[in-house]
């Protein structure tokens, strides 16, 4: 999250079909949990904020931002591997065994399988 930004900063990652992975930060602190949302839900979540800046993969959503929140700012900012490496250079490494991924959404194949197998009690993962 850009530290110099004032107001609510909303990093976006395009999740296709007008959905995003979004975070909501003010003063570099989370104000809402990260989530997988429709972009309409994101706009609803931030509509009352005095100042909003969308960052990240905003290209597909610029028209909606301009229509719904004309006062909002947006900036297409994508991660840069070299900058991430420099940022992490002096940081102490975390233990790989302590890393826990935060899955915000099931994969589409699993969602479809669960729709078709609601009553069977059968596991999505087949053990061999």
Q: Of 14, 42, 21, 44, which Cα lies nearest the Cα of 105?
A: 21
CATH code of the domain covering residue 23: 3.30.420.40
Residue 96 lies in a domain: no
According to the model, what pLDDT value does residue 12 have?
Answer: 97
Residue 37 lies in a domain: yes
Domain count, the chain: 1
According to the model, what pLDDT value does residue 48 have?
Answer: 94
Q: How far apart are CA 50 and CA 57, in angstroms?
A: 22
Residue 46 lies in a domain: yes
Residue 13 lies in a domain: yes
Instruction: Return all residues near 83 (Cβ < 8 A) that are at least 6 apart.
Output: none
pTM: 0.76
Residue 90 lies in a domain: no
According to the model, what pLDDT value does residue 112 have?
Answer: 84
According to the model, what pLDDT value does residue 122 have?
Answer: 67
Task: Give the residue numbers spanning the domain of 52.
Answer: 8-81
Output the tens digit of pLDDT for each of the chain's 128 residues.
555 678 999 999 999 999 999 999 999 899 999 999 999 999 999 999 999 999 999 999 999 999 999 999 999 988 888 888 888 888 888 888 887 888 888 888 888 888 887 776 666 666 66
Residue 71 lies in a domain: yes
Residue 54 lies in a domain: yes
According to the model, what pLDDT value does residue 52 have?
Answer: 97
Residue 69 lies in a domain: yes
Q: How far apart are CA 29 and CA 9, in angstroms?
A: 10
């Amino acid at each position: 999250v850009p530290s110099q930004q004032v107001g609510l900063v909303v990093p976006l990652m395009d999740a296709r079909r007008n959905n995003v992975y979004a975070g909501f930060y003010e003063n570099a602190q989370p104000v809402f949990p990260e989530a997988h949302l429709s972009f309409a839900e994101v706009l609803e979540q931030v509509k009352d904020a005095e100042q909003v800046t969308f960052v990240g993969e905003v290209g597909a959503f610029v028209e909606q931002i301009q229509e719904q929140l004309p006062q909002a700012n947006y900036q297409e900012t994508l991660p840069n591997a070299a900058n991430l490496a420099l940022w992490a250079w002096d940081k102490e490494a975390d233990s790989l065994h302590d890393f826990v991924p935060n899955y915000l959404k099931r994969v589409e194949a699993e969602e479809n399988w669960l729709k078709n197998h609601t009553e069977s009690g059968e596991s999505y993962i087949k053990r061999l």
